[in-house]
Amino acid sequence: MLTIYHNPRCRKSRETLSLINDSNSDVEIVEYLVNTPTVKELSVLIDKLGMQAGEIVRKNEAVFKEKYKGKTLTHDEWIEAMVQYPKLIERPIVVKGNEAVLGRPPENVLQLID
């Protein structure tokens, strides 16, 4: 079972979901702008990605430019910021068990498909 943290308005997210659907994999779709992950859930996702929180922050979003540009935040502070403003979360994130990939490029998801 794959889980995709998805934004249906995002082209890369739609392309990643299409690759999953084409593989006939079971998938759970989490529209993270509607069902925002908690601090704990987002921390687990970032750990599964093997990244630092600041690495998955969308720096072209207006909220980033208005509130965070030029600031240095800790790992935990970035997580708090992304929970408060989920548009800051890079997308899509696809999870299978203890592994996760960022769907940029969408073909990264193929690493999780059997």
Residue 10: active-site member = yes
The kind and range of the H/E element at 83 are helix 75-84
CA distance 101 to 91: 10
Sheet holding 99-102, edge to edge: 27-31, 2-6, 93-96, 99-102
Catalytic option among 1, 4, 6, 10: 10
Dihedral sign computed on CA atoms, order 16, 19, 21, 25 = negative
Residues annotated as part of the active site? 10
